[in-house]
Structure 1
Amino acid sequence: METSFWQCLLVFTFLYYLAKYFLGVNRNLPPSPALSLPIIGHLYLLKKPLHRTLAKLSNQYGPIVFLRFGSRPVLLVSSPSAAEECFTEKDILFANRPRLLAGKYLGYNYTSLVWASYGHHWRNLRRIASLEILSSNRLHMFYNIRVDEVRLLCQRLFRGSKGGGPGDDQCQIVDMKSMFFELTLDVMMRMIAGKRYYRDNISELEEARKFKEIVTETFRLSGATNIGDFLPVLKWAGLDKTETKLVTLQGKRDKFMQDLIDEHRRIRIDSASKDQSRTMIDVLLSLQETEPEYYTDDIIRGMMQVMLSAGSDTSAGTMEWALSNLLNNPKTLLHAQLEIDINIGQSRLIEESDLSKLPYLHGIIKETLRMYPADPVLAPHESSEECTIGGYKVPRGTMLLVNMWAIQNDPKLWEEPSKFKPERFKEMMEGERDNKYKFLPFGVGRRGCPGEGLAMKMVGLALGSVIQCFEWKIVGEEMVDMSEGTGLTMPKAKPLLAMCRPRPVMLNLLSQL
C-alpha cells in the first residue's frame, strides 16, 4: 500500500512537470534549458559562484532566460536593455520580494525594508531611510564619525609599523580584510547606537566578537540560494537544516539589538535633552513615541539590521577588492597617490569634501564595483502580475534575478572587461547617462539601494586615506589572489594580507594622530 502511494506520487509529479513544460512552450516563455527535472527543475545546473554559473547560462540561451528553481519560476536577465525594461516601465510590477526563509526570520516576517513587499508599509520604511537616516543632512551630522574612524584606522597602521628599521624591514604585514571590516562595523554602530566595538576598551572584546559573528552569519545565511526555499519537500522531510540555523541566528540578533534599544530608551527617559536625536535608534524611538502601534520594537530592530548589514560588509569588501587591485597594479596606485599629492598636498589629511577633486580615485572605486560588485546578482524581485519582458511572457509570481556581474563584465559592452582600468570611467562619463543600465552596482528603480551616497563617501574617504598615508606592497613574490569566494556579497576567497609602511612625507602628520 505504501509503495503504491509513492509510485502514484512520482507519476503525478512527472505528469505535472510535463504539463507545465508544454504549457510553457505554448505561452511564449523566454528560452530555457531543455531539461527541467521533476521536482528540482533547473537546480541541478547551479554551481558556486552563482553569478558565474548564471552568466554561462545567459551566454548559451540569451540575455533573457526562463528557469525553474524547484517550485519557483525564475526570470534571469543579463543585458542592459532587459534590465532597463524591468526597472523602468515594469518597475512597479517587479517591486515585490519573493518569500524566502531569510525574509521570514531575518526580515521580521517580511516587514523589514529589504524584505517587505511593495505597498504602504514598504514606502513608509523607504521614506524613513531616505529622509530620516540617509538624507544629506543626516550624513553630514555623522561626518565626524566617519573621519574619526578612518583616522583611527590610519593610527593603527602607523603604530603597527613603529620600531622597524630602514627599507622593507619597516613594513608590517596587515590583515586588511579585518581592518576594513572593523572600520565599517564601528562606523555603522556609532551611527546606529553611538557605540564602538573595536579599539575602545579591551573589556568589550567578547561583545565585539559576538557582534562580528552575528554580522558574518547574517551574510552567510541571507543568500537566495537556500535549497529549502525552492524545495519545500525537504522541510517537510526534516532534511533542510537552514531554517534551524536562521531561527538560532534570529534569537542572537534580537537579543543584541533589543539590548541596545532598551539602553537608549533608558537614557532618553533619564535625559533632559531627548529631543536631540543623535543616533538612528534615537530617531526611531522618537517616531515610536508618536506612533507606538506602528513603530514597534520589531520594526526598529529590522531597520537597525538592514542598515548594519547593508553598510558594513559591502563597503569593507569593496575596499578590500580595490586595494587588492592596486597592489596588483602598482602604476595605478602611484597614479592615485600622485593625484592626491597634487590636489590635496601633504600638509593635511584627505577629507570628504576633497573627493570631488579626485576623479581618478573615483574611477578606481567604480572600476572595482564594476569588476567585483557587492551585489553581483541583484537582490531578487518578484512579479506581481503577468507581464512581458523583451517580447516574452513572464508569469505572475516569477522571481527576477538580474545578473549585474554578467552585464558589468560583458565583452560586448566593455573593452577588455577582465583588465583593471580606472581611466575607462573618465572616458565614459559623458556617455554614461545614455547607457547607465550597463553599470548598476547599487541597483536602480524603487528598490535601488538608498545607501549609495553613504557607501561612496565611506569607501572614498577610507581608500583615499590609506593611499595618501602609506606605501603598499604585495606579500611575497606572487600577485594578490583575486579568486572570488562564496557568499551574498562576493567576498575574496583569500583575505587580503598586504605589506604596509608610512610614506616618509606623511610621517609628521601620522605621528600627530
Structure 2
Amino acid sequence: MELNLLHLFIISIALILITKRYLQIHFSKPLALPILGHLHLLQSPIHQSLTKLSQNHGHVLHLLFGSRPVLLISSPSATKQCFTNNDTIFANRPLMLAGKHFGYNHTAVVFSPYNQRWRELRRFMALHALSPSRFPSFSSDLHSLILKLYSGAGEGCKYFKKVEVRDILFELMMNVISGLIAEKKYNGEGCGVPEEGRKFRKVVEEAFLLSGASTMADFIPVVRWMGIGGAEKRMKKVGKELDEFYQKIIEDRRRVGRWKEYADGGDQEKKSNIIDVMLAMQEKDKDNYSDVAIKGVMTSMLAAGTETTAGTMEWTMALLLNHPNALKKAKAEIKEQVGHNHLINDSDISKLHYLNNVIKETLRLFPAGPLLVPHESSEDCTVSGVHIPKGTMLLVNIYAMQRGNQLWDNPLEFKPERFDSDELVHGDEGYKYIPFGIGRRRCPGESLAWKVMLLTLGALIQCFEWERVGKELVDLSEGTGITIPMAKPLQAMYKPCIDMHAVLV
C-alpha cells in the first residue's frame, strides 16, 4: 500500500512538471505520454528511430524526452539557422550522465559548457594537441602496420590471407594518438604492454555504447534517484577504469621528468608530447592545468579519436569490398598518381581526388556520429519561425539529412562521383553534409582525421590486393552506440602487391 502511494505521488509530481513544460512550448506530433514524453518511441539504434520520426512527422520536430524539451532537426535550412544566427546560443552542452562520468564532470572539451574555460581548452588543443607539427610519427606507425601485414602474409605472399580489419585499424589509431599524447605505444614491435591497449579498447567501446544508449536517467530524474536500470552504475565503473588508465600515463610522464625542461623555459618547439606540455603548464597554473584537466584532454583525443577514425576506415573498406569497381578505380588512381617506388606520403594526398570522394561518400552514409553531440540553448531563440525556450536540447540528425531523398539523388547508393562537385560541401548546400559537425563546436580534429584516413586507406590499397572472405556481400548492418560501428566486425582477404615488394622488404 505504501509503495503504491509512493508511485502515485511520483507520477502526480511528474505530470505537473510535464504539463508545465507543455505550456512553455508548442509540441508537434507524435503524441507524448505522461512522464515518458516521446521516449517510448525510441528504439535501438537511436538514430534510425529518430530518422523514422522525422520522415513521418517533419524535419523540425519539437519533442519531449521525459521532462526535457528537445528540438530534433534534419533540415539543412534549420541547421543553418541554429549554427549561424543562433550559433552562440546553441554552443552549450546539456548536462548528461556521459559528461559527468566520462567527461570529468563536464570539464572535458567535448562535454564542457560554452564558457571562457572551454575557449582556453579549445585554443590549447588547436595550438598544441592537434597542431600538424605534433604529428611526425604517423608515417612510421603506418609503415609498421603495412610491414606487419606484409610479414603476416607468409608463403611468399602468393595467397590471400584473412585479417580482422577493425583490429588493425584500432591498433594503428591507438598507437598514433597515444604517441601524440605520451610517446607511448600499445601495439606492434617494441611494445611491452599490449594487454593494456586491449583493455583500453574494451573500455572505450563500452563507454561509446553507454553514451549512445537512451539513458532514462538523463531525462526522468526519478529514474536516477531510484537507480532504475543500472546505467549510471555501469557508467561509474567504466569512468573509473578510464580514469585509472589516464592517471597511470600521467604518472609515467611525471616520473620521466622531461616536462621540467619546458617548465624552466625550454624551447617550445621541442615539447615532445601533450602531457609533458600540460605538466609544464601545471607548474605555473595548477587550477587550469590540473591532472583532471589533462585527463579531460586525453579522453577527448584517445577515446574519441581512436574509435571514430578507425570505424570510418572500417566502413570505407567494407563499402569498397562490396563495390569492387570503386576499389579498382581507387587503386588505379594511386598507381597513376603515386606509383610503386615509395609508400604513399603527405605530398601525395592532394592528388588522390577519387579516394577523397570515397571517404566523403562513406561519411555521408555512415557518419562517425549519426547525431551531433547534443547542444543546448542558453537563452530563448527562434528556429524555423518557432519559439525555442532556454534549456532546450538540440539534436541534429545528420544521418537522416545525409540520406534524405529530397536532398540527394539515389541517397542509399554508394556513389563517390557525386562529390566531384564542390557545391555539395560548400555554401548553403554544405549544410546537408556535416559529418564533422558545424559551428563553434565543430570537431577540432577534422584535419588530422582526414590526413590519417587518406594515408592509411591509400597505403592499404597501394600495397595489397583485397577481396571479400566469400562470395556474399559484406554485411553492412549497423551496431549500436554513440557512433555507428559495424554490427559484425569486418573480415577481409588480402595479398601483397608484387610491384610493392621492393618498398616493403
Identity of aligned residues (%): 45
Q: 2:369 aligns with which of 367, 375, 384?
A: 375
Secondary structure of the equivalent of 1:476? Answer: coil
1:359-405 deviation digits (Å, cap 9, x = unpaired): 10100110111110001000000111111100011121111000001
Query: What residue number does 1:43 align with?
Result: 39
Change (3 A) 1:266 1:501: same
Residues 260/15 of structure 1: CA separation in 2 closer, same or farther (3 Å cut): closer
Cα separation, partners in 2 of 1:475 and 1:73, compared to 1, 3 Å: same
Relative to 1, partners in 2 of residues 1:431 and 1:54: Cα closer, same or farther, differing over 3 Å?
closer
Classify the secondary structure of the residue corresponding to 2:33.
coil
The one of 162, 165, 172 equivalent to 1:173 is 162
SS in structure 1 at match of 2:72: strand
Secondary structure of 2:317's counterpart equals: helix
Q: 1:119 to 1:489 in 2, by over 3 A?
A: same
1:320 to 314, 317, 325: 314
Q: Which residue does the alignment assign to 2:416?
A: 422
Among 38, 53, 58, the residue aligned to 1:57 = 53
Q: Are 1:321 and 1:368, in contact at CA under 8 Å, matched by a contact in 2?
A: yes
Gaps of 5+ in 2: none
Q: In the aligned structure 1, how far is the partner of 2:370 from the partner of 2:448?
A: 19
The counterpart of 1:158, out of the listed 150, 163, 168, is: 150
How many Å separate the matches in 1 of 2:20 and 2:188?
62
Amino acid at match of 2:201: K
After superposition, the Cα gap between the structure-2 partners of 1:302 and 1:6, relative to the gap in structure 1 and judged at 3 Å, is: closer
Listed one character per residue, the Cα deviations across residues 139-182 of structure 1 (whole Å, up to 9, x for unaligned) are 23423x1111111111111111121574xxx1100000111111
The verdict on how the C-alpha distance between 1:20 and 1:268 changes in structure 2, with shifts beyond 3 A counting, is closer
2-side partners of 1:5 and 1:225: how far apart?
25
Alignment of 1:325-364 (within 5 A): 325-364=319-358
Q: Deviations over 1:14-41 (max 9, x none)?
A: 45545644x25xx5x352312x111111
Does 1:142 find its partner at 2:135?
Answer: yes
How many residues are treated as equivalent by the alignment?
Answer: 499
- Per the TM alignment, residue 267 of structure 1 is displaced from its structure 2 partner at its CA by 1.8
Deviations 1:95-135 (A, max 9, x none): 11111111111111111101110111111111111122113
Query: Does the C-alpha gap of structure 1 residues 181 and 59 become closer, same or farther in structure 2, counting only changes over 3 Å?
Result: same
Aligned to 2:392: 398
Contact preservation (8 Å) 1:31, 1:64: no
- Residues 51 and 9 (structure 1 numbering): CA distance in 2 closer, same or farther, change over 3 Å? closer
Instruction: Determine if contact 2:21/2:69 at 8 Å carries over to the other structure.
Output: no
Residue 468 of structure 1 is matched in structure 2 by 462
Question: What amino acid is aligned across from residue 232 of structure 2 in structure 1?
Answer: E
Change (3 A) 1:222 1:20: closer
Which residue is equivalent to 1:33? 30
* Amino acid paired to 1:156: K
Conserved? CA contact 2:98–2:235, under 8 Å: yes
Measured in 1, the distance between the counterparts of 2:393 and 2:261 equals 50
**1:32–1:430 Cα change, 3 Å:** closer
Q: Letter of the 1:40 partner, please give it.
A: L
- SS at structure 1 position matched to 2:71: strand
Q: Does 1:82 align with 2:82?
A: no
Check if 1:223 corresponds to 2:217.
Answer: no
Question: Which secondary structure state, in structure 1, belongs to the residue aligned with residue 494 of structure 2?
Answer: strand
Partner residue of 2:243?
A: 254
One-letter amino acid of the counterpart of residue 230, structure 2: K
* Number of the residue aligned with 2:95: 99
2:472 alignment partner, SS class: coil
Is the 1:30–1:393 contact (alpha carbons within 8 Å) kept by the matching residues of 2?
A: no
TM-score scaled by structure 1? 0.93
Question: How many angstroms apart in 2 are the aligned matches of 1:5 and 1:415?
Answer: 55
State how far apart, in whole Å, the 1-side matches of 2:356 and 2:258 are.
44
Is residue 112 from structure 1 mapped to residue 108 from structure 2 by the alignment?
yes
Q: What's the secondary structure of 1:222's corresponding residue?
A: helix
Q: Structure 1: how far apart are the matches of 2:293 and 2:157? A: 54
Deviates more, 1:247-256 or 1:347-356: 247-256
- C-alpha contact 2:259 2:276 (8 A) present in aligned 1: no
Q: TM-score, normalised by structure 2?
A: 0.94
With over 3 angstroms needed to count, the CA separation of the structure-2 counterparts of 1:59 and 1:113, relative to structure 1, is same
Deviation at 1:320, TM superposition (A): 0.3
Q: AA paired with 2:71? A: L
Q: Distance in 2 between matches of 1:327 and 1:489?
A: 22
Superposed, 1:439-450 pairs within 5 Å as 439-450=433-444
> CA, structure 1 residues 285+123, in 2 after alignment: closer, same or farther (shift >3 Å)?
same
Farther off after superposition, 81-90 or 288-297: 288-297
Distance 1:280 1:4, change over 3 A: closer
Secondary structure in structure 2 of the residue aligned to 1:282: helix
Distance 1:309 1:355 in 2: 26
Deviation at 1:220, TM superposition (A): 2.1
